[in-house]
Structure 1
Amino acid sequence: MNRTTSIALLFLSALLSASLLAQDDNKVSDARFRTETIKESSDSKRFDIDVSYPALNDRSAMAGAFNKAAKEHAMASVTEFRTMIDEMTDEDRKFLPDGVNYTLDLGYEIEHADESLISVSFGISTYSGGAHPNHWTSTLNFDRKEMKELRLGDLFKSNSGYLNKISEIAIEDLTKQMGNFADEDWISRGAGPDEANFESWAISKKGLLFFFDPYEVGPYAAGGFEVVIPFEKFPLEMQSSKFYTAKTASYVQGNPPNWCRNGHFPSQDVEFSLVRVNGDRSSRAYFFGDDDDCPNGEECRMKAYVIGGDELLVARSYGDFVCAWYQPEKGNETVGWIKLEDVRAATGPEETASWTGEWIFGENDLKIENIGVGALSIKGNAFWKGTGDNIHIGEVDDQGTPNGRVMSIGGTDEYDCRVKMTRVGKYLIVSDNKNCGGVNVSFDGVYVRR
């Protein structure tokens, strides 16, 4: 194989990889969007353009404004590439290996979309000669209500020092990602507190997502980097009203991500598990509340605490905390955030195999009995007490078969009662669809055997 052929194959491999990187995220699973494309090629000028960008399907004024902004975003790269092609001479094209063209590949990913905001990242790759293609990311964050592009500075109050906060976290994260290959000066230049360093940003479920392209914080060979800064890292005094709108991307089942409450705990769509508090019986692990900027705020620590060896039922984590439910032998539960450093995974066999028995949570009850061949009968009552003698009642009477440690019962109609039960340790975690009785009646709760 001669040298020219080897170079051509090397270029083709690099270009194919770049194209796959740019186009891999063009699949739209959200029915609200469609994909628009721009494809051009020329044998004489030796170029290929393959561009995809999103468009909303509805015909509202807002959709028209977004579609226009998304197209303009894509066309900016197309126009720049076409200008470069027009400036190329036949002499320039002689340096292209056989089978290799100048290329522009542009794809996109919907990072987040809700009734308020649409956040899109565009992956762009071009080859204009040289040793390798070039890759970079651009973003479009669109305010649906104001029908215009949202800028990073719009999320924060003036003179709040948000760039310093972003820079500090990004530099620490990038340094950790690169390990021994981190170049302190290079990272400081590319992620310093300059707005130009953070032009490529998006809104994600986990927080603000920042993109750093090859050469920005390290050499080309290091590739690009992404840094996610959780919304909770930004204090309330730094946030504008637009920040609140962006933060709703992280909401869990419609609730703020920092909520950890007994009313929401059983319905969390997570893998529940058991932990124990670290230390001996003289050790304390305090609960933290979920108001405002809690659990991270200075005034978030509650008076309630657990001690070393106590067993907790935990759901999802949030930063350095985990949402925990403590059920004492007598009395009511305590629910709140517990520091992850204060607990460890519980060891020993779990009592998840047995479902039968009489289970209670407050005044609610469930009776589960075997009816043969793995099937179970589930009967129970739930109550809601208002003022005076105002009492609403709900009941369940059904059959089910456990699937591992989860069992679901109920009808398939929209208004049928449906109940999900999960066995973890000595607990039966129950949540329903709020169609199992009168107004405000719910079976939701963490049950123990009577």
Structure 2
Amino acid sequence: MWEYRTGIKKFRWINYLMLTVLIAIILPINHVEAASTITVKTKIQYYKGQQYIHLSGGKKSVTDKLNKTFKLHAVKAASLDKEDKKLNKNYSFTTMASVKYNAKEKISVVYEDHMYAGGAHGMDATRSYNYDLRTGKELKLSEYVKDDIQIKKVEKSISNSLLAMYNAGESIFEENIYDFQLDQTSEFFLYDKGIVIRFHPYEVAPYAKGFVDIKVPFSKFNT
């Protein structure tokens, strides 16, 4: 009986020792993987009344670079606003910033610019900044839509979405459901399952509709 109990204790001790070694091997690996994930926090700040996105955390060299880029957009907007007001005190130029995506070590920051220089309404433009938070590299549409075949697939997906919106009674131009401009200079930003193509007012809808954002899942053009 004593030998039996001793054998059980040895068996349990060996199992415990093996488990301890296994944990010691696995945990550092998981810890390194977790530590290697780059994340940033975002905050809206202002330069002379113009919005811009400020990042904190992440890789300092990359964060500093992107912060300069994002603030520069606001600096330029403030300069344009000053010039417009010299022409007419009622004229204005404003920009609004938002973070559309901040995950998987990628970030998409979008600015919406509005210029008023008289008339029934102003003019609107948009600028998207898509970056890799690990390298600081700007991500172009060509990073995702690589060739003419994929562009055709993206166009088809956009047309299907516009048609669905039109059929649902939204104010989409019927003639532009299958006729719109899409190339590697088109404005886009990321979302969790793909890309979002952004159309300016009057491109596929009236001015009152504002910017029209169409989601295109990766599954629609990567297969």
1:183 corresponds to which of 169, 173, 183: 173
Partner Cα distance (1:74, 1:135) in 2 = 15
8 Å Cα contact 2:154/2:220 also seen in 1: no
1:164 corresponds to which of 135, 152, 161: 152
Give the TM-score normalised by structure 1.
Answer: 0.37
Aligned ranges for residues 45-444 of structure 1 at < 5 Å?
50-58=49-57, 60-86=60-86, 88=87, 93=88, 101-114=90-103, 116-157=105-146, 159-179=147-167, 181-189=171-179, 191-196=180-185, 199-236=186-223
The number of equivalent residue pairs is 182
Q: Secondary structure at the residue paired with 1:215?
A: coil
Q: Secondary structure at the residue paired with 1:216?
A: coil
Cα distance, 1:83–1:187 mapped onto 2, change above 3 Å: farther
Structure 1: state its 5+ residue gaps: 1-29, 40-49, 237-450
Partner Cα distance (2:95, 2:182) in 1 = 29
8 Å Cα contact 2:201/2:211 also seen in 1: yes
Q: Identity over the aligned pairs, expressed in percent?
A: 25
- Alignment RMSD, CA only? 2.7
Cα distance, 1:83–1:168 mapped onto 2, change above 3 Å: farther
Partner Cα distance (1:175, 1:142) in 2 = 31
Q: What CA deviation, in whole Å up to 9, does each residue of 1:193-213 have, x standing for no partner?
A: 4334xx221111242112222
Residue in 2 that maps onto 1:38:
47
Bigger Rg, which one = 1
| Greater share of helix | 2
Q: What CA deviation, in whole Å up to 9, does each residue of 1:99-138 have, x standing for no partner?
A: xx32333222211113521111223323221111333332
Partner Cα distance (2:78, 2:140) in 1 = 23
1:225 is displaced (CA, Å) by 1.5
Partner Cα distance (1:63, 1:203) in 2 = 19
1:64 is displaced (CA, Å) by 0.7
Give the residue type in structure 2 aligned to 1:220. Y
Cα distance, 1:115–1:63 mapped onto 2, change above 3 Å: farther
1:53 is displaced (CA, Å) by 1.0
Cα distance, 1:126–1:192 mapped onto 2, change above 3 Å: closer
Partner Cα distance (1:153, 1:76) in 2 = 27
8 Å Cα contact 2:47/2:75 also seen in 1: no
Q: Which runs of 4+ in 1 moved over 4 A?
A: none
